Structure 1
């Protein structure tokens, strides 16, 4: 699968490191990008003027056009990146599609060197674009006869991301089977594709390739591998007309097709991250409101003199509980006997509204003496 940036970041960083080194350094680096693009960089101290860069990509096609070898036109485009700087090694390194010999002494100094190295880092983008360009050119828009060229062409730049190109009257259709691992990504992707179709149907987008989405594969893909046609996010199709591959538009159209998978996945990840941030922000706002509400209620209760008590239930034996209740009842009666009593029947007397108190009995001995009566 192609990538959003044409230049390979690892290849560019390694070449700049070799170019800027004060002394020659031994480099033997082998790495992959996006699962299908393979690089090998060889730089020896014994030959400090030449850097060998080998690359290959997993390319599978099915149909009339099979481009497993790099065309002569692609070789010319690669050589023109830096005249006198790039030499194509024939045969290439074992297991690789292309091997280049970079002459460091012929690279100009200053900003021009960075431009050339960046352009060399776009090697795979040039190869992939050239291959797809030749496929589109081979499908003649003027020839509407049903021939082998009308059969779908299966293009695989990444093992898990194949797409199909087939010819229809006055247009070429590119179909992308879409699969996502997470269920949340499937929901976001389905909504995104439907919105993409709706936006593409507007008048302002009349010059862009017409986009369509369907949960089932097109009829033209009958007989293709079942694993390619088994999707959870449907099939996205783009109709390419002759106007889209004229002049400089061809390069832009090809690059957009190569990067559709990467663009869709990037959009889905960004959308999911945005939704998660909004959910977290909303949750924090709700928690803050709940905390403020509880603080206000607590302050109101304190102002009204309300207190919260926690009742503790303790198991007490039944006999002790009954004795305790009797003591409470007796204490209550004694307290009542000491209260002042209001007599309603005395309203007609002068001492109306007065209170009559019961005599107080004291247990203390009195100072007065009593005479015993016979």
Structure 2
């Protein structure tokens, strides 16, 4: 299966070309759309050597509540500008004439800017992981059994990143639970989704036993989010739950875990659409093959008898 990239390829391509210094500076004014109602604007409003990159994301108020401004300031502090470009939630300016000297540092800067959306969405996950560290330390101090679930009373962080879909994140002393609500418009999407998610479960049982636990429920919401802020039950919504255990939350694995899990919804629906397209192509191919068989099965028209000039008949008998 194809694994979607965490960074924006178009931003990476544009900045790599401009940071290389192989061409003269030119004016830029380009709007780029990304997954999850995210829009970027790359422009040169002041001069051709100063590139401004702006981010607009529908759920930014939710992300700001969980520390997105602090995360973005940590990652892009020297380049961030305030206030941001009108109509956008975050803006930064990079002066091409003041770039790092080494090519490796320039490449790292391009990669960091291309991960702007990923870093903004990482804020609630980082907050949940920090809460997990605190709760786990308290549980160890109080000699609690880490294998026994406990209602820690921690907040359920809700990120409403689409009109009818949200991500819910909740930390406990022994795990971090991430729940995606996803809308299936068609019954066939529900069937394909169930097949995909069952494969996640079976793969964990067969070979990847260290993978997070995956649960799926249709129409009935998990207990963890029924009292979450802004939660609205609906029969058209399915819920995918990831349970991250301490082995997934090690410091060396956290960044990779955040990158993988926040792209799950796009990965999930992308493969559902690809599966439907493949099924349709196979059905069209089969129909074409059946038509060929039917055409070959048509009886040949018998040749009519012919007459000579004298009236004699000849032909098939």
Query: TM-score category by the smaller chain?
Result: 0.7 to 0.9
Q: CA deviation at 1:15?
A: 3.3
User: How far, CA to CA, are the matches of 2:202 and 2:35 in structure 1?
Assistant: 31
Aligned counterpart for 1:212 among listed residues 184, 208, 215: 215
Please, what TM-score do these two structures have when normalized by structure 1?
A: 0.65
Structure 2 counterpart SS, 1:252? helix
Q: Displacement, 1:146?
A: 4.3
Greater C-alpha Rg: 1
Deviation at 1:237, TM superposition (A): 1.0
Q: How do 1:1-374 residues align onto structure 2 when only pairs under 5 Å count?
A: 4-16=4-16, 18-19=18-19, 22-34=23-35, 36-44=37-45, 47-57=47-57, 58-61=59-62, 66-67=65-66, 69-71=68-70, 74-78=72-76, 87-107=79-99, 108=101, 113=106, 116-139=109-132, 140-142=134-136, 143=138, 146-149=151-154, 151-168=155-172, 170-202=174-206, 204-215=207-218, 216-224=220-228, 228-232=232-236, 234-294=238-298, 298-299=299-300, 302=302
Q: How many residues align?
A: 287
Deviation at 1:264, TM superposition (A): 0.5
Answer yes or no: is the 8 Å Cα contact 2:81–2:91 preserved in 1.
yes
How many angstroms apart in 2 are the aligned matches of 1:218 and 1:260? 18
Inter-CA distance 146–212: structure 2 relative to 1 (3 Å threshold): closer
Assess if the C-alpha contact under 8 Å between 2:76 and 2:92 holds in 1: no
Segments of 5+ residues of structure 1 without an aligned counterpart are 80-85, 308-374
Query: In the TM superposition, what is the alpha-carbon distance from 1:258 to its structure 2 partner?
Result: 0.5
Query: What runs of 5+ residues in structure 2 fail to find an aligned partner?
Result: 140-149, 306-317
**Aligned partners of 1:251, 1:109: CA distance in 2, in Å?**
25
TM-score, normalization by structure 2:
0.75
C-alpha change, 1:13 and 1:267, in structure 2 (3 Å) is same
Distance in 1 (CA, whole Å) between partners of 2:253 and 2:22 is 40
Question: How far has the Cα of 1:28 moved from its partner?
Answer: 3.9
**Aligned partners of 1:177 and 1:229 also within 8 Å:** no
Shift of residue 223 of structure 1?
3.4
What displacement does 1:100 show? 1.7
